[in-house]
Chain A
């Protein structure tokens, strides 16, 4: 499973640095965070470092108010719901988007899709209409249909299955899945939500089409068990989990909300340097160090012998370390069969659980980014996937 970068605020240099390091990569550009000129210039820089580009139209809520997003040419003016059901209005949006994709030198099209509060005939009609129109406008590259589901829709198996049966008939080459996290939680503690996301993604993949899941964090490494092609992640939490509020004007990216976190891949948890200090104090700091196989030196300074919180571990290093580790974990997560993939995922979770418990005993806690409670959630969801689709996935991988 690949890991793409989900572009967000302040990510330009991270993308270029990481793509140079990786010898290439794919970034999903965000019109919310880039004007047309910026987008065009940045795309050129990305291509120079062997990068690939996708463009998320972010038309999840056509009434969004974020001015940078709504100032783009393709954004619907005088929005009317009927516009998305076909006709010249929809055609115009897609033609403008085709132009923007051209300027960005995008390698595939992400077809816009609206946020789905509840899977019903109205939402399906709009999706079908957009995908149908896109098949006549986006003709020169592959097309990925956006499926953006609310956290509530993802709690209902029937709604997920309705998406699966309807999407079979869409004239598209793949899917860009965007799943709203319940209660705006970064890490999702609802096993049903994750089970249904796994079922959705595996069902889409079984259609023989590409599946990419946007706005992901390390919890979504588990989607490798659904055999998807890629997840996309980024720096700030608003690109590591999806909330439609991100596209409203009052959403800011102000520095006041910023805290530096160190990602420990073996526990799948993030820790503030102050809690690493506790690890140093009791002599287990080395156990929190990232293994050399992750090829990340970004966080080395934390393990130099000095008190971690007193080191110059920066936000930039924290982000790059996270994305470097996530990429390695994503690539290693999918194996040559469902059984192998599932077994390995469960084993990683078991190891993480034991190690987290050890750290808890000495006061090293991840607070709201601790994976202790999330391990069980993922294990339950993976077993739910096995029960629902295991027989098929063991044979069609």
Chain B
């Protein structure tokens, strides 16, 4: 079987790139860490499909700049496997994913508070642009070596004022089970808004405090995870330093299976989170 030497193909067409090192390869994209003559450390994403979803990802990445989302330096196309494939060149963030961090156990309180605040802040910005990320999960969160926290991969982001790419009759919407809100995986399009991201942020926070995803732990398979996401009433978190249980209640509110019971907006959620911080002992961030 012919396996193309992707780094050589890229380097031939984009000579400013060098030292390409594979980071991930999936069905739709190949991701490399690389050096660039001008931008220094970069991530090079080759988007192998040129479908509408890919175009939407490029559009989101190039049109908007959000805090704590790696900067996109440039985008374009290269010839690959007899066709034109799109690529994105993004800033490389030195650090590790939250998933890697969680593989060692729970995340410390101060990191967790920083994580929640960062994700909510990003959501306030995406909310203003009518974007829903729809894939907030530990694999897409990088804990930077400099202490900053970053959100990556807007691959299945939804622009609320644009036509949906997912077929209306599709039983399930694009998502990662265990992190997606019920209205998202049930593809209830009219119900999907920033509150779906707030749900995912709540799940990530819950997992960071306990070390375990509340819906995936003990589930037989993905369908069981979905069923549990819709039916499980989560045990309130017992967080050290959360003297008045406000943080625990806040996270429970984010993870409520009904969107009407979550904060209505990301800005509201962020405000409430900032307001409760003084109630947390040793919760300085």
Contacts and interface: CB of A to CB of B under 8 A. Distances in A.
9 contacts: A165-B259, A165-B260, A206-B260, A206-B264, A388-B261, A390-B249, A392-B261, A392-B262, A396-B264
Interface stretch (B42-50, B62-70, B82-90, B250-258): B250-258
Given A169-B190, A396-B268, A161 B250 contact: no
Give the interface residue-count category, chain A.
Answer: 10 to 19
Nearest to B272: A395
B183 interface: yes
Please classify the interface of chain A as helix (H, G, I), strand (E, B), loop, or mixed, using the class held by over half of its residues.
helix
B263 interface: yes
A164 B260 contact: yes
Contacts of B260: 161, 164-165, 168, 203, 206
Contact of A391 (B183, B250, B259): B250
**5 closest Cβ pairs, A-B complex:** A164-B260, A203-B260, A391-B249, A161-B258, A391-B253
B183 A165 contact: yes
Contacts, number: 36
A315 to B, nearest CB: 43
Given A165-B188, A388-B256, A392-B263, 16 more contacts: A157-B258, A164-B258, A165-B190, A165-B258, A165-B260, A168-B260, A203-B261, A206-B264, A388-B261, A391-B249, A391-B250, A391-B252, A392-B253, A395-B268, A395-B275, A396-B268
Contacts of B191: 165
Nearest to B246: A391
B130 to A, nearest CB: 15
B250 to A, nearest CB: 7
Contacts of A166: 190
B101 to A, nearest CB: 28
A166 B183 CA distance: 12
A389 interface: yes
A278 B268 CA distance: 56
Nearest to B263: A392
B75 to A, nearest CB: 35
Contacts of B263: 392
A157 B261 CA distance: 12
Interface in A164-215: 164-166, 168-169, 203, 206
Residue of A164, A165, A391, A396 with most chain B CB atoms under a 10 A cut-off: A391
Contacts of B272: 395
A78 B268 CA distance: 49
A389 B256 CA distance: 10
Contacts of A389: 261
A391 B261 CA distance: 9
A175 to B, nearest CB: 14
A157 B233 CA distance: 14
Contacts of A169: 190
Interface in A43-85: none
Interface in B233-285: 249-250, 252-253, 256, 258-264, 268, 272, 275
